[in-house]
Amino acid sequence: MDILDPTATHTVQDVFGYDVFYLWASGFLARHGQDVYDQNALASLMYQLGWPSDEYAHAVLTPPWALWLWAILSLIPFSAARVAWPCIIAAASAIILTRIQGLLAPHHKKKSNAAALVLVLLFPWYWSNIYWGQYNFLLLLTLLGASLLLLQQRLFWAGVVLSLSLCKPNLFMGVYAYLLGATAHNKSVALIGGAIAGGSLQLLLGEALVPGITLSFLRHGTFDSGFSLPGASLSQVFRSLWGGNLSLLLPTIGCLVAFSYGLRTRFSTKNFLQVIVPLSLTIAPYMWSHSLVLLFPTYCSIAEYLTKIVRRYVYHLLLLGLALSMPFLFFAWYERWYAAVPLLALAWGHLSSRGSPHVIPDQQ
């Protein structure tokens, strides 16, 4: 069966640690100088690792500039990595999400560490990342680090940190467009320079592992194979309903809106995390629902709003939401229903930011 054949039937079983197979296998192949995008080599290794015999091994979607990360992971024996990786995800995500709460909250409203951790544990997509073995905690770390550096006007290093998001560039098209608009307004290329420097270094690491791997990545049309899969992206839903050309309109329009927003507003952590990130996920051409963990700042905003209304019962409501969502988090067949979540988060972010004094006044 050909992954690029649009008539082929692809199954997605619900395997615990589904993605750690792909990450570890791609890192192992790269570390041994083999073509990660050779699907036969990838599938052969995955079946040796214990991949279900009746489950199709899709082409790996990891871009060549991210291979160095998984080459490091593959240094751990797979049997140990499969246990250690979910533990790393759980601990790192909890720490980063707790720190994001501190970044968003005014000093006089900061929660205790215990209360902040409870809020994390009640967030549905915290658990789905652990289950699938996904590395979105690295993207959360990127957003946190970049936000702190942007607030400090350390633009070059903010760009370097943001280059880590290139491991999933499909999720950050709106973010990139917004930052390009901000760069055009500020007339400083330091941010872009840092992103180019960081991205180039990662690409060189990928080429050092497997010479010519970038050409192989382009030749196999790896991202295209992902776009044809079902997923939690509004663009993917449009593609399944009306075809590829129309589905490109949403990312195009969204990027123009984000660019305009960057041109006319000052940087604000709240607006960046609660407006631009949801916009970026809304227009993503390819996404799975575990990436909705990036909407944690919106979740915090909603929790804060509920606290004002039903202070005594806010954790009960969040626990109820977690319980209702749990049956659907771990089954890939429900993915497309989540496409509305980033759009709702964007609407919430826009409404909650109205009246915020971040619009740049016209120059006289």
DSSP 113-180: HHHHHHHHHT-HHHHHHHHHT--HHHHHHHHHHHHHHHHTT-HHHHHHHHGGGGGSGGG-HHHHHHHH
Q: Which residue has the higher pLDDT, 59 or 9?
A: 59
Separation of alpha carbons 84 and 291, rounded Å: 21
Query: Residue for token digits 């202070």?
Result: 311
Q: Which residue has the higher pLDDT, 330 or 90?
A: 90
* Residue among 14, 21, 299 nearest 134 (CA): 21
Asked if the model's pLDDT at residue 217 lies above 60, the reply is yes
If pLDDT is split at 50, 70 and 90, which confidence band does 257 have? very high
Neighbours of 92 (CB within 10 A): 16
φ, ψ of residue 139 in degrees (nearest 5)? -70, -40
Instruction: Report yes or no: 57 and 23 within 8 Å, Cβ to Cβ.
Output: no
- Overall pTM surpassing 0.75 (yes/no): yes
If pLDDT is split at 50, 70 and 90, which confidence band does 62 have? confident
If pLDDT is split at 50, 70 and 90, which confidence band does 58 have? confident
Looking at the chain, the whole-number percentage of residues with pLDDT higher than 70 is 87
Q: Which residue has the higher pLDDT, 243 or 255?
A: 255
Average pLDDT over the chain reads 84
Tens digits of per-residue pLDDT, 105-127?
A: 655 455 677 888 888 999 999 99
Separation of alpha carbons 180 and 220, rounded Å: 29
Instruction: Report yes or no: 179 and 41 within 8 Å, Cβ to Cβ.
Output: no
**In 177-331, where do the E strands start and end?**
none
Separation of alpha carbons 156 and 186, rounded Å: 13
If pLDDT is split at 50, 70 and 90, which confidence band does 3 have? very low
Between the alpha carbon of residue 211 and those of residues 30, 33, 51, the distances in Å are 10, 8, 28
Residues in the chain: 364
Separation of alpha carbons 189 and 243, rounded Å: 37
Q: Is the dihedral of CA 118, 120, 123, 129 positive or negative?
A: negative
Q: What is the mean pLDDT of residues 239-254?
A: 79
What's the pLDDT score for residue 124?
92
Hey, which residues does 55 pair with through a beta bridge?
A: none
Least confidently predicted of 182-186, 229-233, 284-288, 295-299 = 229-233
The structure tokens listed for 187 are 């007339």
* Residue among 157, 163, 158 nearest 198 (CA): 163
Separation of alpha carbons 275 and 74, rounded Å: 36
Alpha carbon 127 to its chain centroid, in Å, reads: 15
Separation of alpha carbons 85 and 87, rounded Å: 5
Least confidently predicted of 5-9, 67-71, 186-190, 233-237 = 5-9
Annotated domain spans of the chain: 18-353
Instruction: Report yes or no: 310 and 317 within 8 Å, Cβ to Cβ.
Output: yes
For 41, counting Cβ atoms within 10 Å of its Cβ (0-12 exposed, 13-18 middle, 19+ buried), the class is: middle
Report CA dihedral (90, 121, 106, 310) to the nearest 10 degrees: 170
Tens digits of per-residue pLDDT, 268-309?
A: 888 899 999 999 999 998 888 899 999 999 998 888 888 888
Separation of alpha carbons 103 and 97, rounded Å: 10
Q: What is the mean pLDDT of residues 187-199?
A: 92
What's the pLDDT score for residue 60?
81
What's the pLDDT score for residue 180?
92
If pLDDT is split at 50, 70 and 90, which confidence band does 140 have? very high
Asked if the model's pLDDT at residue 157 lies above 50, the reply is yes
